[in-house]
């Protein structure tokens, strides 16, 4: 009890650890000196050595106990700070040190450490945003090149095949034999069909890399295209529910891209891993936030075993960049529900 009273008294003074140790030991030495004078003045000569020895042992033990309590109480915030450092090193970047007023030096150290973590987290988000932006720009460029250059070249091949086939068919029999003519026509038809299939595949790939509808018509149209694409590619019936809101036409491009990519990744996971017979995609507006939910009736999974797979890290990162959060409700045999909540940006003033 006495030590706690001393500690509370020292806390009110907001002293540094050095000042606490000096002050405590000075008071302790003063008290021991007064006690020693009193003991020696009242001690009998016959028991003088025994009394002095007992007093020295008691004073030494008391000094050790008080200093041990003082140092332990002073270093306790440092131990908590060390635990936070270990958690951050283990990947829990959201961990922060508690700011307590027990010691000004430790409090300043914890505040500086928290400020450093906040700055590093901000830089990490900025770098991740730049990486995602560069990735989207690269996908847009590749999509445009596939659509413009490769598609045009294959279209030219189709035209040349058609011209060649008509030319072969129009040649007289004295120039080319009938059997050879038929072989050439068949080869031209096969080449034309192959070029057409390749052209269709390139166009589909171009749209999946960066759907032009997302840039031209916005998020709602892009989600409708995504649902139709999932039906055609994966034979997965997807029910689309979108709340009628004029805000959908005013969302920033980064919000549209984030919501579309999360929906695209989630539906791809449903088609490839969930063994679901149907899925549901919902988009609605809550107070100051946009909600996107993808739910299926598939096999589900254990979130503890696959928390870092299936593109979930990418989806969480995209949501975190806009200050949002992504939650997953999944149980084996009970389907999966993925919901992302993005806070709306503050209106421009």
From first to last of its 349 residues, the chain has per-residue pLDDT tens of 555 555 555 555 556 666 666 777 777 777 767 776 666 666 555 566 666 677 677 777 777 777 777 777 767 777 788 888 888 887 777 788 877 655 567 777 888 888 888 888 888 877 877 887 788 788 778 877 777 778 788 888 888 888 888 887 777 766 677 677 788 888 888 888 888 888 888 888 877 777 888 888 889 999 999 999 889 888 889 999 999 888 888 888 889 999 999 999 999 989 888 888 899 999 999 888 999 999 999 888 776 665 556 578 888 888 988 889 999 998 888 889 999 999 987 665 5
Kind plus residue range of the DSSP H or E element containing 152 = helix 151-170
Structure tokens that stand for 74 in this block: 């002073």
Task: Work out the widest C-alpha separation in the chain, in whole angstroms.
Answer: 147
For the whole prediction, is pTM greater than 0.85? no
Question: What does the pLDDT read at residue 310?
Answer: 54
pLDDT at 304: 63
**pLDDT confidence of residue 8:** 58
Asked whether the beta carbons of 221 and 169 are under 8 A apart, the reply is no
Backbone angles phi, psi at 63, to 5 degrees: -65, -45
DSSP structural state of residue 279: E
Alpha-carbon Rg for the chain, nearest whole angstrom, is 37
- How many alpha carbons fall within 13 Å on the CB side of residue 27? 9
Give the helix/strand (H/E) hosting 265. Answer: helix 253-269
Q: What are the sequence ranges of the domains in the chain?
A: 2-102, 103-210, 214-349
> How many other CB atoms are there within 10 angstroms of residue 280's CB atom?
15
**DSSP 8-state class, residue 227:** H
Read off the tokens for 124.
């990490």
The CATH number that domain 214-349 falls under is: 3.30.565.10
Per-residue model confidence (pLDDT) at position 19: 66
- Edge-first strand order for the sheet with 336-343 is 238-242, 279-286, 289-296, 336-343, 325-330
What pLDDT does residue 10 have?
52
Three-point CA angle 231, 210, 217, nearest 5°: 80
CA–CA gap between residue 4 and residue 16 (Å, rounded): 17
């Amino acid at each position: 009890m006495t030590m706690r009273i001393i500690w509370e008294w020292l806390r009110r003074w907001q002293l540094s650890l050095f000042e606490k140790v000096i002050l405590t030991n000075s008071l302790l030495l003063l008290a021991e000196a007064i006690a020693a004078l009193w003991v020696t003045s009242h001690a009998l000569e016959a028991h003088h050595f025994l009394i002095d020895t007992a007093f020295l042992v008691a004073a030494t033990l008391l000094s050790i106990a008080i200093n041990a309590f003082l140092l332990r109480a002073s270093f306790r915030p440092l131990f908590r700070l060390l635990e936070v450092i270990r958690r951050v090193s283990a990947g829990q970047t959201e961990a922060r040190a508690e700011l307590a007023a027990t010691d000004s030096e430790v409090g300043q150290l914890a505040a500086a450490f928290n400020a450093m973590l906040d700055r590093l987290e901000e830089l990490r988000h900025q770098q991740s945003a730049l990486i995602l932006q560069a990735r989207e720009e690269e996908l847009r460029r590749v999509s445009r090149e596939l659509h413009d250059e490769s598609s045009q070249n294959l279209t030219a091949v189709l035209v040349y095949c058609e011209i060649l086939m008509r030319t072969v068919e129009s040649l007289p029999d004295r120039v080319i034999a009938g059997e050879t003519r038929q072989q050439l026509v068949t080869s031209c038809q096969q080449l034309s069909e192959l070029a057409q299939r390749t052209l269709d595949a390139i166009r589909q790939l171009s749209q999946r890399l960066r759907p032009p509808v997302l840039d031209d018509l916005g998020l709602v149209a892009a989600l409708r295209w995504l649902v139709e694409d999932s039906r055609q590619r994966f034979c997965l019936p997807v029910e689309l529910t979108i709340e009628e809101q004029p805000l959908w036409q005013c969302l920033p491009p980064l919000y549209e891209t984030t919501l579309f990519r999360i929906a695209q990744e989630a539906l791809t996971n449903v088609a490839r891993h969930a063994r679901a017979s149907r899925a549901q995609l919902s988009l609605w507006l809550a107070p100051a936030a946009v909600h996107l939910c993808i739910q299926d009736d598939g096999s589900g999974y254990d979130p503890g075993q696959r928390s870092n797979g299936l593109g979930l890290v990418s989806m969480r990162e995209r949501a975190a960049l806009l200050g949002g959060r992504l939650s997953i409700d999944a149980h084996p045999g009970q389907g999966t529900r993925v919901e992302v909540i993005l806070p709306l940006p503050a209106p421009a003033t």
